[in-house]
Amino acid sequence: MSSKTNPLAAIAFPLVALLAPALPSAAAAAPERGAKSGAAASPAKAARADIQATLGFVPGFLLDVPDLALPGTWAEMKGLQLNPKTALSGETKELIGLAVAAQIPCKYCIMAHTEFAKLNGASKAEIGEAVTMAAITRHWSTFLNGAQTDDAKFRADIDRLVKNAQKAAGTPPKGSPIAVVDGPSALRDVTQTLGFVPDFLRRFPDAGRAGAWTTMKDVQMNPQSAVSPKNKELIGLAVAAQVPCKYCVVAHTEFAKLAGASQAEIDEAIAMAAFTRHMSTLLNGLQSDEGAFRRDLGRLVRGAQAAAKANSKKAASHTTTAPRP
């Protein structure tokens, strides 16, 4: 798992705590670029002051945010995305942000969530699977909506899938492995794996069914992948919520619950999707300077890494100097 290979995963500090002490001399470096001199509303000034105190500087993309929108935007970023006490871990929230960003697509958000996911301990495999889950969700959203899938029939199939999974929990797979090489063999494998063939899989063209089913089975349904089954479904739900795709929302919600997700985790996954969309809209609509964004992102990452290193040394020092009982 990534927490064993990435030293940042072992640091019990949120991104804000990592960043804040890393740039102590940056207080004088942030210009009041976001408002006219003497005309800024006090809530916007207070938000910029808190950003300064939290991150050590005010990134340019936050200075671009209109004064009326900045207080709420920063409060949501700090309270949800950067908060270490939410139901979802920092790594999971950043993987959700990356998955959503990848299929918008938003180059700013892709860069940021990738780097922040790494800071929170995400491995290359986890990052790849998060993006792939976004692709799978978009894939099936396109087909389900384009084929005008019957809503009642789809919900009945999802209910049946959940009940079959609950009955099969803890039991070994039935039958011998089936080589999936074409549409008909895919249907046989679907039947053996799920207990029946859901209507949407039956309707999928023979020519593409083998590949579509194999990807779903090898990534989304694989219990041994880098990202846990619960987190994969939360990623799928987050992406589905902002497509939006009512079919995928229903399916991923039920599958996430089946994998053990709480209502708080479900709500936070959806909220992270909403906030990623919020920031993507601001960054792209305000045409934030990409070069400046990359520089600010690099500064945030370097600050977090420096703080993590300092905190690690401090913790080690306390351990070695602690008196014996």
Place of tokens 């990052």: 127
Taking the CA atoms of residue 70, residue 75, residue 77 and residue 79 in that order, the dihedral angle to the nearest 10 degrees is 180
Res 203: pLDDT: 98
DSSP 220-243: IT-TTSSS-HHHHHHHHHHHHHHT
Res 142: pLDDT: 98
Cβ(15)–Cβ(120) below 8 Å = yes
pLDDT in tens, 162-203: 999 999 998 888 899 999 999 999 999 999 999 999 999 999
In this predicted structure, the answer to whether residue 273 has a pLDDT above a threshold of 60 is: yes
Dihedral sign, Cα of residue 32, residue 36, residue 40, residue 44? negative
How far is residue 166's CA from residue 189's CA, in Å, rounded to a whole number? 19
In this predicted structure, the answer to whether residue 17 has a pLDDT above a threshold of 90 is: no
Taking the CA atoms of residue 163, residue 169, residue 173 and residue 178 in that order, the dihedral angle to the nearest 10 degrees is 40
Res 244: pLDDT: 98
Cβ(14)–Cβ(84) below 8 Å = yes
How far is residue 292's CA from residue 60's CA, in Å, rounded to a whole number? 7
Q: According to CATH, what is the number of the domain 2-169+230-317?
A: 1.20.1290.10
Cβ(34)–Cβ(63) below 8 Å = yes
Domain boundaries, the chain: 2-169+230-317
Chain center to CA of 143: 23
Res 174: pLDDT: 83
Q: How many residues does the chain have?
A: 325
Q: Output b/e per residue, 272-281; b: 16+ Cβ within 10 A.
A: bbbbbbebbe
For the chain, the average pLDDT equals 89
In this predicted structure, the answer to whether residue 316 has a pLDDT above a threshold of 90 is: no
**Higher pLDDT among residues 29 and 215, named by residue:** 215
Q: What is the DSSP letter of 56?
A: S
pLDDT in tens, 213-226: 999 999 999 999 99
How far is residue 6's CA from residue 211's CA, in Å, rounded to a whole number? 34
Tokens representing 229? 């089954």
How far is residue 281's CA from residue 65's CA, in Å, rounded to a whole number? 11
**Higher pLDDT among residues 147 and 2, named by residue:** 147
Residues 42-54: what's their mean pLDDT? 96
pLDDT tier at 309, thresholds 50, 70, 90? confident
In this predicted structure, the answer to whether residue 89 has a pLDDT above a threshold of 80 is: yes
Instruction: Output the CA–CA distances (angstroms, integers) from residue 236 to 8, 230, 239, in the order listed.
Output: 26, 10, 5
Residues 278-294: what's their mean pLDDT? 98
Residues 290-295: what's their mean pLDDT? 98
